[in-house]
Amino acid sequence: MDDFLVIDHVTKTFGAQRAVDDVSLAVSPGEAFSLLGPSGCGKTTLLRMIAGFERPDRGRILVAGQDITELPPEQRPVNTVFQNYALFPHLNVWENVAFGLRMGRRPREEIRSGVDRMLELVRLAEHARKRPAQLSGGQRQRVAIARALVNRPQVLLLDEPLAALDLKLRQHMLMELNTIHEQVGTTFIYVTHDQGEAMSLSNRIAVMNAGKVEQIDSPEHLYETPRSSFVATFIGDANFFTGKAVEMQHEGYVRVMIEGLGSPLVLSNGVVSSNQMLRLMVRPEKISLTLKRPLSGERVNAFPGVVEDSSYFGSHTRYRIRAGEHLITAQLQRSRFSGGEISPAHGTSVWMSFHPDEGRIVRLEDAA
Amino acid sequence: MKRSWIPSLITLGVVLFLFAPLVVLVANSFNASRFGGEWEGFTLNWYEKLWAAGEVWESLWITLKIAVSASLAAMVLGTLAAYALHRFRSWLQNVHHTLITLPLVMPDILMGISLLALFVLTGIETGLLTIWIAHVTFCLSFVTMVVLGRLQDFDFTLIDAARDLGATRAMAVKKVLLPLLLPGVLAGGLLAFTLSIDDYVITFFVSGPGTTTLPLRVASMMRTSRSLPMINALSTLLIASTFVLAVLSSRLQRRA
Amino acid sequence: MISGSRGSKQWLLTLPSLAWLGVFFVIPSILVVLTAFRPADLHGGVGAGWTMATIHELRDPAYLPILWRTVWLSGVTTLVCLVLAVPMTFQMARVGPRMRQWLLLLVIIPFLSNFLIRIFAWKSLLHPEGPLTRLLVWLHFISEDAMLLNNVGAVLLVLIYTQLPFAILPLYAAAEKFDFALLDAARDLGAGPWRSFSKVFVPGVRRGLVSAAVMVFVCSVGQYVIPQMVGGASDEMLGNKIAQRVFSDRNLPHASALAGGLMLAVLVPMLVVSIWQRFGRKEAS
């Protein structure tokens, strides 16, 4: 995996605020990569620096080995799909797509074939003569993608590509974007605040918070082994417990003493030493609920609690369970109750249990 | 929800109030009666007389020369001013903005007398040039306001998009900003043109011998009762052209 | 954006209009005030030296009724224009976009029609031989020898007629942005149509109301053509005196002194409004 787009110790401040704080990352050729984070985390500023609309205070940006930090936007091998598409309202679809090629003074024949081919790719050939105002949201988005891709950029930047679309269209465009990415093979950089979008669009995700990159990983790794509680809460839901490592065990497990709950056994990830304070994370759907204490012995962590409330979501049901001072969220699929074992109502005493492999140790420093 | 009928009634009343005098004027221009008190039959007599009144057409020519050149100058100055006001936030633009808005609320008579004072004290002969200067001055603010309104609706990410697609800064302005701004600039120019044709008070202060613009001519015609019916005919023509210009201007502003 | 020469670019873009207005608006306005302190020469020009004589002449008690008339005519005009324009723009903002365009056009056409022509239209309408007089006599509202023209009522009527668009246009701009769901909310919370109009809509277009009031007042206060054409000898406004001093007496310093007074009458209400608005904005934020 050779690095294609390299962000090398880039910092950008606006006034007193560090929008992007010493960020480094590398993207492989052809990869679909996402910058994910809440608004104000610096992801858009980073995108604008890659596109050339902002200049970093420190650090370098390289594409295919070429340092583009000082280049103006028009000279970069990078094109952008803007958040609200920024289609030129005075030009029709065809002229919008041709704009970049015209600016590059390409031969007339090349412009025509290039635009036509691109409009075929996004299935808009029959709308070529329409103005942007006459198109639906999804069509506008496809014009924006075609307008950027026709220039054969080495990197395509997509700023919140699905934010302006309604839910149904969003799911459709999600698949469409994946198809287009497969067909053209260009490096795609998505910027989004929606974890679902990032997870289904990209090979790897950089989770950003307060100008810094918290973790770069594949969607699966981010979800299963988040390194910080920020990542754990930003991607999916999580229960957190603060405790102390009391007993190191063989095969990489550690017993954690949690005040008011008990001493579950979890994977140590090799980062824990005895008597260390740490934070334990368990995803709601990893917790099972039963009326009786589970029998499977010491390999299962089980604690008693009382159901406080439940919300029905169709595909699953969420329970809030009180155990002393802890309020724990558990999420169960309907099918798990098909055995008719329990359907806990408010006030029911239940047992919560999870497998030691499902508990994660995350960094302690930031309280979620 | 039931809507009150009072606002509709007032609206109807206001529109009638605004149009009644104009309608009477237009009707009288075809009325054989000299004073227009009652209908004495249809005639084109007043239009024929107007057609023969050479001095009126001479005045129209002077007025058009001033209006076209003044509104062109105001379009250039006003567009630059609006761009600067929109683009920059600074003490300079605060001063600039105040200076642009003050003429809008300055009574005509004050602008007229102060320009007259300037020309008298500097010894500049009043005439076509001084009228042109005065017209550019009061048109400038109106054009700036119209273009500024247009700029506020302009999505500046379009400039980013153009540059992202390989346009230089100058190219982005030429290919994206100007074409999209043009309807606003033209609408501003059209407004300036109408205001310039219409102006009586300021022109009266800074005019000299041989520069009788159309409003000045109308004012002098109003003093002689013989030419009163001719004013009806002239007014009808002017109202008709105002109507065309207003429709044109609102078309321009709506296009985007 | 990458631009090192931002400052010089700003000056380059600002300078043309700034210089133009500086030379042809700011300097002349200052000159007018200065001219008030210069003696007049016999040829309608300005003599050498400085004098306070003109300022002293302004204390002539004959000016007082004229000043008072100027202010009350402008005040009543402003009030009537607002009372008509607020419900009208309310109506304009809540009808469909097509109807709205038409109404706007109907306001703009008389507004853009020649100013003199509009006064002339009223002059022939109010003329003793004119259609309105005949209609009113026929209806027995007025007697045969009543004069609709050449009195202060005619001045007020034509003032309102010419200034009404100045009230409607800024109010319409404000009403167009008004969120009409707020009225539904007010009705839902138990306010009647009048109370939801006066307690929700009118405060909602407050900014437009203020600029409409300033616009109408300022434009009325400087009028001289209307009283000259439809008013009588005793219906003169301050503007008439200024015009007389310039064109009949050819006394520019005296005219300048009066113009300086008028300038104060314009700038003071504007200053009050802008301070009030700045204060109001702070209060809101």
A100 touching chain B per CB within 8 A: yes
Chain C neighbors (3+ CB pairs < 8 Å): A, B
Q: Tokens standing for B172?
A: 């982005």
Chain B residue numbers with beta carbons less than 8 Å from the beta carbon of A74 are 163-168
At C45 the pLDDT is 75
Positive or negative, the Cα torsion across C38, C44, C45, C48? negative
Residues composing chain A: 368
Q: Tokens standing for A203?
A: 């090979």
- Residue A243 included in any domain: yes
Highest-confidence range of A262-266, B181-185, C158-162, C269-273, by mean pLDDT? C158-162
Give the total number of structural domains in chain C. 1
Distances (CA, A) of A353 to A243, A304, C224: 18, 9, 91
Q: Which residue has the higher pLDDT, B201 or B36?
A: B201
Residue (of A202, B41, B137) closest to C27 by Cα position: B137
- Residue C43 included in any domain: no
B52 touching chain A per CB within 8 A: no
Confidence of residue C133 (pLDDT cuts 50, 70, 90): confident
B117 touching chain A per CB within 8 A: no
Mean pLDDT calculated for residue range B128-141: 96
Q: Which residue has the higher pLDDT, A306 or C56?
A: A306
Does the pLDDT of residue C125 top 90, yes or no?
no
Does the pLDDT of residue B177 top 60, yes or no?
yes
Quick one: angle between helices C97-112 and B6-29, nearest 10? 50
Looking at chain C, the whole-number percentage of residues with pLDDT higher than 90 is 27
Mean pLDDT calculated for residue range A134-163: 91
At B217 the pLDDT is 92
Q: Which residue has the higher pLDDT, B155 or A251?
A: B155
Confidence of residue A8 (pLDDT cuts 50, 70, 90): very high
DSSP state of C147: -
Distance from CA of A145 to the nearest CA of C (A): 24
| B 182-201 residues inside an 8 A Cβ radius of C | 194, 197-201
What backbone phi and psi angles, to 5 degrees, belong to A56? Answer: -65, 150
Same domain, A164 and A250: no
Does the pLDDT of residue B3 top 50, yes or no?
yes
At B254 the pLDDT is 66
Which pairs count as long-range contacts for A328-337, CB under 8 Å and 24+ apart, including other chains? A328/A239, A328/A287, A328/A352, A329/A237, A329/A239, A329/A284, A330/A284, A330/A285, A330/A287, A330/A288, A330/A289, A331/A237, A331/A284, A331/A285, A331/A287, A332/A285, A332/A288, A332/A289, A333/A285, A336/A288
Please name the helix (run of DSSP H) or strand (run of DSSP E) that holds residue A280, with its range, or none.
strand A277-282
At A298 the pLDDT is 59
Same domain, A150 and A289: no
Distance from CA of A166 to the nearest CA of B (A): 22
Mean pLDDT calculated for residue range C231-260: 88
At A154 the pLDDT is 92
On whether the CB atoms of residues B16 and B5 are closer than 8 A, the answer is: no
CA closest to A53 among chain C residues: C1
Q: Among A213-227, B2-16, B25-39, where is mean pLDDT lowest?
A: B25-39
Name the residue type at position B128: L
Positive or negative, the Cα torsion across B145, B150, B151, B153? positive
Q: Tokens standing for B52?
A: 């023969």
Mean pLDDT calculated for residue range B230-254: 83
Looking at chain B, the whole-number percentage of residues with pLDDT higher than 70 is 96
C108 touching chain B per CB within 8 A: yes
- Residue C6 included in any domain: no
- Residue A57 included in any domain: yes
On whether the CB atoms of residues A148 and A80 are closer than 8 A, the answer is: yes
Residue (of A111, A214, A357, B200) closest to C113 by Cα position: B200
Mutate one of C26, C73, C104, C117 to test the B interface: name it (highest B CB count within 10 A): C117
Q: Which domain holds residue A271?
A: 237-362
Q: Which domain holds residue C80?
A: 50-284
Task: Say whether C101 and B133 touch across the interface (CB within 8 A).
Answer: no
Distances (CA, A) of C108 to B72, B133, B243, C178: 22, 26, 9, 21
At A368 the pLDDT is 38
What is the rounded CA–CA span in Å between residue B38 and residue B28?
Answer: 9
Confidence of residue A209 (pLDDT cuts 50, 70, 90): very high
At B37 the pLDDT is 66
Q: Which residue has the higher pLDDT, A295 or B88?
A: B88
Residue (of A361, A333, A165) closest to A253 by Cα position: A361
Same domain, A59 and A186: yes
- Residue A367 included in any domain: no
Does the pLDDT of residue A113 top 70, yes or no?
yes
Give the total number of structural domains in chain A. 2
On whether the CB atoms of residues C165 and C110 are closer than 8 A, the answer is: yes
Does the pLDDT of residue A44 top 70, yes or no?
yes
Name the residue type at position B61: W
Mean pLDDT calculated for residue range C78-90: 95
Task: Say whether A72 and C2 touch across the interface (CB within 8 A).
Answer: yes
Same domain, A224 and A246: no
Give the N- to C-terminal CA distance of chain A in Å, as an integer: 34
Highest-confidence range of B65-79, C53-67, C125-139, by mean pLDDT? B65-79
B248 touching chain C per CB within 8 A: no
Q: pLDDT of A15-33, one tens digit each?
A: 888 899 999 999 999 999 9
Q: Checking phi first, is residue C208 left (phi over 0); if not, alpha (psi -120 to 50) or beta?
A: alpha
Same domain, A286 and A216: no
Q: pLDDT of A236-248, one tens digit each?
A: 889 999 988 888 8
Distances (CA, A) of B107 to B144, C24, C155: 19, 15, 17
Does the pLDDT of residue B250 top 80, yes or no?
no
Chain B neighbors (3+ CB pairs < 8 Å): A, C
Same domain, A258 and A196: no
A72 touching chain C per CB within 8 A: yes
Q: Among A103-117, B11-25, C267-281, where is mean pLDDT lowest?
A: C267-281
Confidence of residue A35 (pLDDT cuts 50, 70, 90): very high
> Measured in whole angstroms, how far is the alpha carbon of residue C158 from the centre of its chain?
12
- Residue A368 included in any domain: no
Looking at chain B, the whole-number percentage of residues with pLDDT higher than 90 is 50
Please name the helix (run of DSSP H) or strand (run of DSSP E) that holds residue A332, with its range, or none.
strand A326-333
Q: Residue A202's CB: how many other CB atoms inside 10 A?
A: 23
CATH classification at residue C88: 1.10.3720.10
Same domain, A223 and A94: yes
Name the residue type at position C61: P
Name the residue type at position A106: R
Chain A residue numbers with beta carbons less than 8 Å from the beta carbon of C1 are 53
Q: Which residue has the higher pLDDT, B146 or A295?
A: B146
CA closest to A131 among chain B residues: B256
Mean pLDDT calculated for residue range A262-273: 78
Same domain, A126 and A147: yes
Distances (CA, A) of B191 to B118, B202, C20: 26, 17, 19
* Residue A322, strand partner residues: A306, A327
Q: Which residue has the higher pLDDT, A347 or C73?
A: C73
Residue (of B121, B108, B117) closest to C254 by Cα position: B117
- CATH superfamily of the domain spanning B56-254: MetI-like (1.10.3720.10)
At B252 the pLDDT is 72
List residues of C whose CB lies inside 8 A of any A CB: 1-2
Looking at chain A, the whole-number percentage of residues with pLDDT higher than 70 is 93
Chain A residue numbers with beta carbons less than 8 Å from the beta carbon of B176 are 88, 90
Chain A residue numbers with beta carbons less than 8 Å from the beta carbon of B167 are 74, 99, 103
The ipTM (two decimal places) reads 0.88
- Residue C8 included in any domain: no
CATH classification at residue A315: 2.40.50.100
On whether the CB atoms of residues C257 and C241 are closer than 8 A, the answer is: no
On whether the CB atoms of residues A145 and A107 are closer than 8 A, the answer is: no
What backbone phi and psi angles, to 5 degrees, belong to A36? Answer: -120, 135
Mean pLDDT calculated for residue range B203-228: 88
Same domain, A200 and A169: yes
- Residue of C20, C107, C224 lying closest to B109 (CB–CB): C224
pLDDT, mean over chain B: 89
Chain A neighbors (3+ CB pairs < 8 Å): B, C
Mutate one of B6, B9, B18, B200 to test the C interface: name it (highest C CB count within 10 A): B18
Same domain, A329 and A229: no
Positive or negative, the Cα torsion across B42, B47, B50, B51? negative
At A342 the pLDDT is 56
Same domain, A121 and A203: yes
Confidence of residue C281 (pLDDT cuts 50, 70, 90): low
On whether the CB atoms of residues A184 and A117 are closer than 8 A, the answer is: no
At A334 the pLDDT is 62
| A 25-84 residues inside an 8 A Cβ radius of B | 51-53, 72-75, 78-80, 82-84
What backbone phi and psi angles, to 5 degrees, belong to B24? Answer: -60, -40
DSSP state of A314: S
Does the pLDDT of residue C282 top 70, yes or no?
no
Mean pLDDT calculated for residue range C216-229: 90
Q: pLDDT of B92-105, one tens digit each?
A: 999 999 999 989 88
What is the rounded CA–CA span in Å between residue A34 and residue A52?
Answer: 18
At A296 the pLDDT is 65
Domain boundary among A209, A233, A257: A233
Domain borders along chain B are: 56-254
B195 touching chain A per CB within 8 A: no
Looking at chain C, the whole-number percentage of residues with pLDDT higher than 70 is 95
- Residue of A75, A82, A151 lying closest to B161 (CB–CB): A82
Positive or negative, the Cα torsion across A108, A114, A117, A120? negative
At C1 the pLDDT is 40
At C199 the pLDDT is 87
Q: Which residue has the higher pLDDT, C20 or A271?
A: C20
Domain boundary among A208, A233, A258: A233
Same domain, A21 and A129: yes
What is the rounded CA–CA span in Å between residue B59 and residue B56?
Answer: 5
Name the residue type at position C118: R
Does the pLDDT of residue A288 top 80, yes or no?
yes
Within C95-151, where are the H helices? 97-112, 115-126, 131-138
Task: Say whether B163 and A78 touch across the interface (CB within 8 A).
Answer: no
At A270 the pLDDT is 66
At C27 the pLDDT is 95
Q: Checking phi first, is residue C179 left (phi over 0); if not, alpha (psi -120 to 50) or beta?
A: beta
Chain A residue numbers with beta carbons less than 8 Å from the beta carbon of B157 are 82-84, 86
- Residue A123 included in any domain: yes
At C207 the pLDDT is 85
Cβ-based neighbours of C52, under 8 Å, separated by 6 or more? C37
At B256 the pLDDT is 44
Does the pLDDT of residue A367 top 60, yes or no?
no
